[in-house]
Structure 1
Amino acid sequence: MFWKLTALSASSPVESVLDKENFTLEELLDEEEIIQECKALNSRLINFLRDREQVEKLLRYIVEEAPADAESKQAFKFPFVACEIFTCEIDVILKTLVEEEELMNLLFSFLEPNRPHSALLAGYFSKVVVCLMLRKTVPLMNYVQNHPDVFRRLVDLIGITSIMEVLVRLVGADDHAYPNFMDVMQWLADSNLLEMIVDKLSPLCPPEVHANAAETLCAITRNAPSALATKLASPSFVARIFGHALEDSRSKSSLVHSLSVCISLLDPKRSAIASPLMYSFRSQHMYESLNPVNPETIGAMLPKLCDLLMLLNVSSDEKVLETTYGELRPPLGKHRLKIVEFIAVLLRTSNEAAEQELVSSGTIKRILDLFFEYPYNNALHHHVESIIFSCLESKSDTMVDHLLRECDLMGKVLQTDKSPLLSGESDKPTLPASGKQAPRAGNLGHITRISNKLVQLGSTNSRIHACLQENTEWSEWQVNVLQERNAVENVYRWACGRPTALQDRTKDSDDDDLHDRDYDVAALANNLSQAFRYKIYGNEDAEEDHGALDRDDEGGKFQNTIMLSC
């Protein structure tokens, strides 16, 4: 009987407008249910909206700024509704748009340089073009190929994120293949599109342009193999990217984002813009071998390593950053952190020429020093750990000898563990706060992992084993300190404060993820805090006896300063 209820059979307000003898598009756009009616494929409404005149009006709301004295509806509501109508993906409306070149010209007139480009309308423009890309791919790409100035204008506005997203779609970096995809990619590779995008990494451009240009180039590398990706990985383009990175040492943004592109060329699966901290606890997967990289690409990067090494020098930097634990004189900075990340990814390619260059230039030694000079920069520690693992697992004996003998890795580890409190030496970049007890170094967890890796590889690698056996102090420390620390920090053996979920969990889909990590980070943090709260180690002196046991307590204080130290 419900179909007899008048409330449910009432006609839509949109139908009331359509029933009028003379109604306007604006009257329809003002109705709240118009989008719902479009999605419901209301034939009367769609037949009205598919008309060329109405499509043109809808486009003008999207690409033209409303007059300064316009009502709120005209400036905000109508452009939003017009965009939503197009993105309902109604075929007859989109067909009217793509089959009329004047309407397409009107749509892309938004990119003209002599008009305003508000973020609001840029978002609407982007949504409409992406919709056409998905539903009317061939006619859209035919239009773009016949109007090459579209790409030039898109690149000129690449600092607007919505425009960058359109560009990424058009260069085929969204894994959206269409009938003439390969022909279009080859056409783009033959054009000067890549040159225009790479030149946006110039220090003369603002940071937002650097960021979006780098994201576009990284998207192209992730779409390999393609004609564009192959061209970008060529030595001439690599040299061009490094040229912009090192053109002006004062432009840290240009350096950071140029190196992001180089990192993506070496490892396309790596996110270009993501924070390094997202990798902090993905211990095992981070050291998997990369896909083979063209040696010519790596060879074009090697001549610039000495210039990058000079930028790792902090002695001439007079910046000071106050932190909760003291001062950084100077802070490490994003640009130095990005250089270290680049070196870490470069080493993971196992390229012999790159390894030799890094050894001869002293880059590895300098980076290892940074590890101990900045004991609270977890992102730095992560990348240096990756560098150390790559050196130890290298097929080259030179890399192992350089790390263990010339860089004295074991000596630095023993010295830090022997004196874990932050040094107050004025020539060090990290200084403790005056009048307070010096805190414990924050990199002891990474030192423990590195030490365990040394022991593990020493059992299978005779060269590493020989180096470990030569150092009697290391052998004693391994037995008396490292083994005991590993037993204490093994959360799977704890009888107190351990979550039931870890103790009694059954096999499920999360088991693989659990075993892919050295430990469960959340569980470790929670249990360490409970362990010290209830003093399960018996007395206050136990904390000192166990070396690094209280670093989680200190870590709680420093958690909010990790990014500051960058």
Structure 2
Amino acid sequence: MSFWRNFGFHPISHIETILDREQFTLDELLDEDELLQECKLQNQKLIEFLIKPESLSLLFEYITKEASEESDRKRKETYPFLASEILCMDITSLIDAVYKDEHYLSQLYDIVNQQEFNLGLASYISKVAINFLGRKTIETMSYIKKQDNIIEKFINHLDKSPIVDMLLKIISIEEFQGGAGTLEWLDKSNLIGGIVAKFSPTLDSEFHENASFVLSEIIELNRSFSDSPLIIKLESEETIQKLFDYILSDVPLGTSFLHGLTVIIKLLRRHKEHSDSVVTKKTPLAELAPVFKESLIHTEELKNLLTKPTESSFTTTTGLLSPPLGFHRLKVIEFFADLINSRYLCIDQKFIQQDILSACLLLHDSKLLDRIIKADEDNTNEIKQTKGIRYGYMGFLNSIAFSICEVAKSNPSLKNYLDANPKWAEFVSDSLKPVLTLESEPLGDFRMSLMMPPDDDEDQIYENDNDDYNNAYDNGGFVEGNFQNHQIVYEDDDDDESFADQQQNHHILYTNQEEEEDEDEDDDEQFEQRRPKAFITEIQVEQETTQEQGNEKSASESEGNENISTPTVLSSEENQQ
């Protein structure tokens, strides 16, 4: 019960009114909007009613049994949702009541025994089952392990996302308290073999996608377990062979090929992460892990797929691709890239023997340089057309060209090959470099941050300013020392009057306005350096003003002083002119 209700600051809810009756039903409570809030507030009367066997049975019935067609919307949608929310709440007495009788768990896990079921209800079942598995790990796993062939039943429903979520929770329970030994039990239940079997091209794409997802999650979840029985089984020669059999038997290429090869790529990357830092490992081919040996056996078949487009044409926002690279050929190139990244010398030699690099559109035989140059020319001509647009792949093409130039800096043979193509040097200077220069510039107007250290030139300027100030102050000639590059000129009708006479009556100090307009705000150090000048200037102006007032009589005798016009500041160069 909340504080506000205890002290009379909260109105009595409809839930309390219902609970005060002698007779009421669970449906009446479920119809109230405040039900979930009252459960969160740990309303004792409400909880005591919910943990009754008849109430619990009805809550489980709402999420496990599909309503009849004649039922209203509340029974089909609202009640199952509310029942799942209540069962997932942190109410200790309710969870304890559920585990007093295995019948409730049987209602949840009976879903794997059904051939077809409502996916909406299955999502509620999965949500509640995962919650119980996290709160009562030992009790729940004890129940699951007692069920016959339950892992096989999970795998048979691998095309259903709610079942996949439940299976992944069971797989990850090893890391939780009370979950020790789960990986060994899953291995004995043939989890890996059952999932790999779902890559069969005869099955639907949902099986292939979810099987790839589960195996990828197993690889990620078992990073911290070096001797995980699931990883050992997945990386075994038998499993890798079966996986490649399903991949290459998927003709025409489909989802079994795509998702099966994704698992192989994940395993290749896992080996790279766990390998040492030797740049080129000289391990013999016979001593490589099964995933590498089996991959090299099938490189020739995969290479041949690169010459066979899977689609005749593909329309994009930038035009027609005919033929497009396609997802299948892109996946093959990704597979070859991860094989090369393994840094095994024997794999590099195999690639050279089979000329795989050329098949992947690289340099000599593929005429990659000529293709890049031709594509750039076509793009330039397209932009010049009326309403022409830049080709969508030009960013990738420039990235490839830049990578080639970077590698050539440390590879003499590649550099000689590039120098032998005169059009390449023209492309780099006229097209590539301008684009790279433009892309390297910051967006918008760059402003120097106050946190950045000043440049050497700026330091020199401020040092010179200090020197000017010190010299001027020491010599008693502040104005002359600080404004040596500027003179004050007056435009006046009386040209005969000397500049010295005008200066006696009018002492006006100017700063360089052009420099102030171009400069941004000064940092603290600059401000500290410039502040004494402004301070002394104010004192001097005040002193000179006092001197003017003292000489009013002599100043009034000079008639020419009345028509003095506004002074103009000229630089030393303009004064000389």
Fold shared by both chains (TM-score > 0.5): yes
Matched pairs, number: 434
Higher Rg = 2
Structure 1 residue 79 displacement after superposition: 0.9
Describe the shift of the 1:463–1:210 C-alpha distance in structure 2 as closer, same or farther (beyond 3 A): same
The match for 2:151 is: 151
Q: Report deviation, 1:313.
A: 2.6
Q: Which residue does the alignment assign to 2:308?
A: 314
Matched, 1:486 2:436: yes
Q: Which residue of 2 aligns with 1:379?
A: none
What are the superposed Cα offsets for residues 296-323 of structure 1, whole Å, 9 maximum, x if unpaired?
A: 32222222222222332336x5744344
Note the C-alpha offset of 1:108: 1.0
Task: Give distance in 2, aligned partners of 1:167 and 1:331.
Answer: 38
Q: What secondary structure sits across from 1:201 in the alignment?
A: coil
Change (3 A) 1:477 1:322: closer
Match of 1:242 in 2: 244
For the Cα contact (< 8 Å) 2:149–2:189, is it kept in 1?
A: no
2:415 paired with 1:457: no
- 1:365 counterpart = 2:367: no
* Corresponding position: 1:62 with 2:55: no
CA contact (8 A) 1:468 1:474 kept: yes
Deviations along 1:158-194, one digit per CA (max 9) or x if unpaired, are 211121111111111xx87223434111111122111
* Aligned residue in 1 for 2:29: 28
Residue 188 of structure 1 is matched in structure 2 by: 186
Distance 1:243 1:421 in 2: 46
> How many angstroms does 1:412 deviate by?
4.0
Instruction: Structure 1: state its 5+ residue gaps.
Output: 270-288, 369-402, 424-434, 493-497, 509-566
Conservation of the 8 A alpha-carbon contact between 1:144 and 1:150: yes
Distance 1:117 1:507, change over 3 A: farther
1:169 matched to 2:169? The reply is: yes
Residue identity matched to 2:440: N
Matched with 2:10 is 9
Unpaired segments ≥5 residues, structure 2: 277-287, 453-577
After superposition, give the CA deviation of every residue in 1:88-140 in whole Å (9 maximum; x if it has no partner). Answer: 132222222234222211221122224x4112101101100110121111111
Corresponding residue for 1:499?
444
Q: Deviations over 1:207-246 (max 9, x none)?
A: 1222111111110011123321232122222222222122
User: Shift of the alpha carbon at 1:451?
Assistant: 3.1
List aligned pairs for 1:199-210, cutoff 5 A: 199-210=197-208
Aligned mates of 1:251, 1:6 — CA distance in 2: 71
Q: Which amino acid aligns with 2:218?
A: I
2:45 corresponds to? 44
State the identity %.
28
Q: Secondary structure at the match of 2:320?
A: strand
Q: How has the CA–CA distance of structure 1 residues 409 and 250 changed in structure 2, closer, same or farther, with 3 Å as cutoff?
A: closer
Amino acid at match of 1:150: I
Counterpart of 1:103?
104
Counting only pairs closer than 5 Å after superposition, residues 346-361 of structure 1 correspond to structure 2 as 346-361=339-354
Selected match of 1:301 from 290, 295, 299: 295
Match of 1:263 among 254, 262, 265: 265
Per the alignment, do residues 176 and 489 of structure 1 end up closer, same or farther by CA in structure 2, a change over 3 Å counting?
A: same
Q: Given that residues 174 and 182 in structure 2 are in contact (C-alpha distance below 8 angstroms), is that contact kept between their aligned partners in structure 1?
A: no
Instruction: Tell me which of 393, 397, 421 is aligned to 1:447.
Output: 397
Secondary structure in 2 matching 1:171? helix
- Give the conservation status (yes or no) of the 8 Å contact 1:62–1:125: yes
Counterpart Cα distance in 1 of 2:90 and 2:269: 36
Do the aligned partners of residues 44 and 300 (structure 1) sit closer, same or farther apart at CA in structure 2, a change above 3 Å counting? same
The letter of the residue matching 1:443 is: Y
Aligned position for 2:490: none
**Candidates 214, 217, 225, aligned match of 1:216:** 214
Distance 1:291 1:415, change over 3 A: farther
> Does residue 125 of structure 2 align to residue 133 of structure 1?
no
Cα 1:363–1:52 shift into 2, 3 Å = farther
Q: Distance in 2 between matches of 1:505 and 1:133?
A: 54
Higher mean Cα deviation, 353-362 or 225-234? Answer: 353-362
Deviations 1:325-382 (CA, angstroms, capped at 9, x unpaired): 54334443322222222222332222333333333333322221xxxxxxxxxxxxxx
Matches for 1:404-483 after TM superposition, within 5 Å: 404-417=363-376, 420=379, 441-469=391-419, 471=421, 474-475=424-425, 477-479=427-429, 482-483=432-433
What is the CA distance between 1:43 and its match in structure 2? 1.5
Deviation at 1:480, TM superposition (A): 5.5
- Tell me, what secondary structure is at the counterpart of 1:359? helix
Question: Is residue 17–residue 28 contact of structure 1 (8 Å, CA) maintained in 2?
Answer: yes
| 1:441 Cα offset (Å) | 4.7
Please state whether the residue corresponding to 2:181 is helix, strand or coil. Answer: helix
Whether the aligned pair in 2 keeps the contact of 1:422 and 1:441 (CA below 8 Å) is no
Determine the C-alpha separation between the residues in 2 that align with 1:307 and 1:235.
19
* Distance of 1:507 and 1:84 partners within structure 2: 52
Shift in CA distance, 328/93, structure 1 to aligned 2, threshold 3 Å: same
Counterpart in the other structure of 2:329: 336
TM-score, structure 2 as length reference: 0.67
2:84 maps to which residue? 83
Alignment CA distance shift 1:47-1:505 (3 Å) = farther
Q: Secondary structure in 1 aligned to 2:60?
A: helix
Q: Which amino acid aligns with 1:131?
A: N
- Aligned pair in 2 of structure 1 residues 477, 149: CA closer, same or farther (>3 Å)? same
Answer whether contact 2:318 2:392 (CA < 8 A) is retained. no
Deviation at 1:66, TM superposition (A): 0.8
User: In 2, are the aligned partners of 1:314 and 1:330 still within 8 Å (CA)?
Assistant: no
In the alignment, the residues of structure 1 paired with residue 113 and residue 145 of structure 2 have an alpha-carbon distance, to the nearest angstrom, of 17
The Cα shift of 1:476 comes to 5.6
